[in-house]
Structure 1
Amino acid sequence: MFRLHFALLALAWALLQIDLIRIPLPQAYASPTPTKKHWKSQRPESSYARRNFETISRIYNLTVYPNQLPIFQAGGVGVPKGLFSANPVGRVDPVGTFTDFEHSIEYFFALSPLPEANPVRAAITGYQITEFSSQCRNVAASIVYLYCSVVNPGSPDHGKPLPPLKQVAFWRFNKCGAVKKYDAWIPNLNSWFEATTASYVTDPVFRNASIEQICGATQMRCQGPNAQWSSVGECVAALSQKTYGSYDEVWGDNIVCRSIHLVLTQVRPDVHCPHVGPTGGGKCVDVAYPKNYFSDEALYGQPTGETFMCD
């Protein structure tokens, strides 16, 4: 059985995908989906800048539907060699910190939405690197726009543009040009979610419906040794007493955090089922600000301020 290894996106992809239990996946296209032109001004001049740009571009291209499908179907072996080191670590605000290959791959690719798995039929269908700088061999910075649209062939809405997402990121590469550390931020994530779905996290009706969906999906995916609740009713009663949260603050003992990890129960239920359960499994737990956002030394193993500076 396929077990996917680790981000991208977001965080709010979660509630878009909570209807996905086990669906047949279409075959990936033979060639990558064409992307929007991604040079804002001029191409990087140095060989290492071009190398770093290409690595980042290839990573984001794999978030474009259906380019992520081989990774869903084959797991970590579906990730092309040379994109990530064997043990990458990083932070993505407002989602969390990731400390190994499996978790990093899950963030960048397992959270990239499948149109078959959400009622809006949303997917990332293009990207544009709007800003890029790499002044030394091992460090780069980028701003990327992730363009979203409806993917529903035969429907009049097919191709309809949806609100885009932005990701601002710093990257550190190993000597072979693979990413080994990253620090990224997705601004206005909650606004993106509400504009895309026309659902509002402050709406009591939406909150109640989403809790019931989360609980129903949890009971179907988390069974046997991975079971978290004795019944859907017990789950609904317990989660209804918790803070709902916002997609601008996914960390916490809240419903939004559990919606993110619910998506990942499809790929590694033994790891992620505890995160959607009553205790949060060490992931969906309250952590006092600013611990998670400023844990640079613990996460990167370097003094704060040195990880993404040129040597």
Structure 2
Amino acid sequence: MLRRSKFNLTSLAARTWALVLALALFLLAPQAHALPTQTAWPPHSKSVRPQRPCFAQRNFNTISRIYNLTVYPNNVPIIQAGGAAVPRGLFSQDVVGRVDPVGNFTSFEDSIEYFFALAPLPTGNAAEAAITGYQITEFSSQCRDVASSVVYLYCSVWNPGQADHLKPLPPLKQVAFWRFDKHGAVLYYDAWIPNLNSWVQTTTAAYVGDAAYQAASIEQICGGTQARCTGANTQWNSTAECVAALSAKPYGTYDEAWGDNIVCRSIHLVLTQVRPDVHCPHVGPTGGGKCVDIAYPENYFSDEELYGQPAGETFMCK
């Protein structure tokens, strides 16, 4: 038994050594078909798909930039220079839209005036109110051309150096649908400001149902009209004539600003500082086609006339 075990171990060792020797000879001998040694892999290419643009983020950024320009004093250059001060790419030159309860806006200049010139200036209201911040609280864009949003416009007292500077005031809310052109600029919009009359009254103590407030407001509108609407833009022979005529008209509310009323004229008086030739007729005796009575629901449901598409198609993904 011992001899047999010794023989087996010796044979195994011999065979192992033979394998090791053969492997060493193979590795050391020149190989006719060996690959050359690579010091570095050569550059290579692969098929790469173009990255798909993030249209939802693009649309969000456009809307955010628009609302940022409503924040005081970002809106001041636009009030001073009009559409020329609006950054390119925000609104199409063919933009049209509606904002309830203010009206339809059928041109580029009309639209930028609504979004930026109507944002309150602290020097233009008794509460010294201004939009000092915003937050897009809801946003959806399921296709490239359409988005919807809800934004909170935060308001504060703007009175630098005084104790009440940046004192919070009630915010405004705007709900909107947007359609973008092929370049990502806003082409159509349909927006709504809920409870606008309540905001005006709470923020400025402008109790529009109060007779004394109404009388003071008419005096202010007429004085402003006489100061801004001069020469070819003159609307009244005197402030007294303006006061008498406007006192005979319904005062209205900010929840129904479309109409031959005083509230409508108070809005367009603000715009006379931007384009007096366009807006002075709106504060005058005829309303200039803007502050005129339009039967409900013609004003709120004129989608096909405004957007040139059947109702229900403008803000649908296709």
Quick check: TM above 0.5?
yes
> Cα offset for 1:77?
1.6
Q: Which residue of 1 aligns with 2:122?
A: 115
Q: Which residue of 2 aligns with 1:158?
A: 165
Structure-2-length-normalised TM-score: 0.83
Deviations 1:112-147 (A, max 9, x none): 111122221110000000000000000000000000
- Partner Cα distance (1:160, 1:78) in 2: 29
Q: Which residue of 1 aligns with 2:206?
A: 199
Do the aligned partners of 2:233 and 2:276 also contact (CA within 8 Å) in 1?
Answer: yes
- Partner Cα distance (2:104, 2:81) in 1: 24
Q: Which residue of 2 aligns with 1:219?
A: 226
Q: Which residue of 1 aligns with 2:145?
A: 138
> Cα offset for 1:267?
1.1
1:185 aligns with 2:192: yes
- Partner Cα distance (1:72, 1:112) in 2: 10
- Partner Cα distance (2:81, 2:265) in 1: 25
1:277 aligns with 2:252: no
1:83 aligns with 2:85: no
Deviations 1:38-89 (A, max 9, x none): xxxxxxx970000000000000000001111221233212101100001100
Secondary structure of 1:274's aligned partner: helix
- Partner Cα distance (1:68, 1:222) in 2: 23
Calculate percent identity across the aligned residue pairs: 77
- Partner Cα distance (1:229, 1:132) in 2: 46
Q: Which residue of 2 aligns with 1:4?
A: none
In the TM superposition, what are the counterparts of 1:1-311 in structure 2 within 5 Å? Answer: 47-311=54-318
* CA gap 1:199/1:73 in 2 versus in 1, 3 angstroms: closer
Structure-1-length-normalised TM-score: 0.85
Structure number with the bigger relative contact order (C-alpha 8 A, sep ≥ 6) is 1
- Partner Cα distance (1:107, 1:127) in 2: 17
- Partner Cα distance (2:262, 2:231) in 1: 23
Secondary structure of 2:218's aligned partner: helix
- Partner Cα distance (2:80, 2:293) in 1: 34
> Cα offset for 1:153?
0.8
| Matched letter for residue 107 of structure 1 | Y
Q: Which moved more, 1:116-125 or 1:252-261?
A: 116-125
Greater gyration radius: 2
Deviations 1:235-273 (A, max 9, x none): 000000000000000000000000000011111111111
Aligned CA-pair RMSD: 1.0
- Partner Cα distance (2:213, 2:234) in 1: 25
| Matched letter for residue 156 of structure 1 | A
Equivalenced residue count is 267
Q: Which residue of 1 aligns with 2:46?
A: none
Deviations 1:138-183 (A, max 9, x none): 0000000000000101111101000000000000000110000000
Do the aligned partners of 2:146 and 2:316 also contact (CA within 8 Å) in 1?
Answer: yes
- Partner Cα distance (1:168, 1:244) in 2: 26
Higher helix share: 2
- Partner Cα distance (1:239, 1:180) in 2: 36
- Partner Cα distance (2:132, 2:183) in 1: 29
The unaligned stretches of length 5 or more in structure 2 are: 1-51
The unaligned stretches of length 5 or more in structure 1 are: 1-44
Secondary structure of 1:182's aligned partner: strand
